[in-house]
Amino acid sequence: MRYVLLLLAACGYLFLSSAKAEQFVAADGIQVHYSAVSTASLPAAVADSLGIKRSQTKALLHVSVLQMADDSGLGQSIEGQVRASATTAAGSRQDIQMRRMADAGTVSYVGIVQVANAETLDFSLNVRPAGSSEPLAVAFSQQFFID
């Protein structure tokens, strides 16, 4: 039971982080929400529930896929395939292994990427929602700072 509550807290924390920043793309009734945060900034309980070690040199990529209801602004979490990579300004590319996390009717995908101080990573996501033959391409940049 404790694991379930921590996982819910982790998914909620990460979803709110991405929703607060309004980082998403929308197409054909689908929204892909995404965020990348330093794992050092995660509360210990969240990191533990995700099975990750907090570190100044690692960032967590979080992706959620929502099927939107007609004009209500509400979405239903759905399955999908998520592929991700991150590229530095120098052209070094990291493929990010994404892991499916599910609990209480919500599904999200998380992955870990190495970061350096003041480094900007260009993220590239390829998200194929369940039941769709067309993937959605998402690209964003994020700069990370190490204390």
What pLDDT is attached to residue 69?
A: 78
Q: What is the pLDDT of residues 12-51, one digit of tens each?
A: 554 444 444 569 999 988 999 999 999 999 999 999 988 9
Question: CA 72 to CA 20: how far, in whole Å?
Answer: 19
Could you give the 3-state DSSP secondary structure of residue 92? coil
Q: What is the pLDDT of residues 96-111, one digit of tens each?
A: 999 999 988 899 999 9
At 5 the pLDDT is 38
> Could you read off the pLDDT of 58-81 as tens digits, one per residue?
999 999 999 987 666 678 999 999
Report the pLDDT averaged over residues 111-136: 95
The letter for the amino acid at 32 is V
CATH value at residue 115:
2.60.40.3340
How many separate domains does the chain show? 1
Rounded CA separation 146/119 (Å): 9
Angle, alpha carbons 6-128-123 (nearest 5°): 70
Q: What angle is formed at CA 100 by the lines to CA 107 and CA 33, rounded to 5 degrees?
A: 55
Supply the range of the domain harboring residue 130: 2-144
Say if strands 106-114 and 80-87 run parallel, antiparallel, or are unpaired.
Answer: unpaired
SS3 14: helix
Per-residue pLDDT at 19: 42
